[in-house]
């Protein structure tokens, strides 16, 4: 979600569309937690209907490089992780 918001401010429905498989409830809870932790800001516009946008704070933006590094590590190690899972399943049916 943090990487998705790195593109700029997004409305809830736009975020929901761009994050496959996430439920509305989980998205709501995650956004609340990220806002609580100071990583995401929530802006409400006094319009009809009300418009709410979410954006990364400077602290949230500072999370992008480590998150990308972790994602790169995960991609690099997928074959080893999958082999370890299969070996574990074989030992623990």
pLDDT tens-place string over residues 35-71: 999 999 999 999 998 899 999 999 999 999 999 999 8
Tokens of 73: 């590590």
How many Å apart are CA 26 and CA 23, to the nearest integer?
5
pTM of the model: 0.77
pLDDT recorded at residue 93: 84
Tokens 């990487």 appear where?
3
pLDDT recorded at residue 36: 98
pLDDT of residue 91 exceeding 90: yes
At 1, is the pLDDT very low, low, confident or very high (cuts 50, 70, 90)? confident
For residue 54, give every residue at least 6 positions away whose Cβ sits within 8 Å of its Cβ, in sequence order, or none.
5, 9, 10, 11, 12, 15, 31, 35, 40, 41, 42, 43
Q: Using CB atoms within 10 A of its CB, is residue 1 exposed (0-12), middle (13-18) or buried (19+)?
A: buried
pLDDT recorded at residue 23: 96
pLDDT recorded at residue 43: 96
pLDDT tens-place string over residues 23-32: 999 999 999 9
């Amino acid at each position: 979600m943090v990487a998705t918001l790195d593109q700029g401010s997004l409305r809830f429905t736009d975020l929901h569309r761009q994050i496959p498989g996430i439920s509305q409830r989980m998205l709501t809870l995650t956004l609340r937690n990220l806002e609580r932790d100071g990583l995401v800001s929530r802006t409400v516009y006094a319009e009809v209907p009300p418009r709410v946008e979410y954006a990364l704070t400077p602290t949230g933006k500072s999370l992008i490089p480590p998150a990308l590094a972790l994602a790169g590590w995960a991609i690099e190690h997928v074959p080893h992780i999958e082999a370890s899972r299969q070996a574990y399943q074989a030992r623990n049916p």
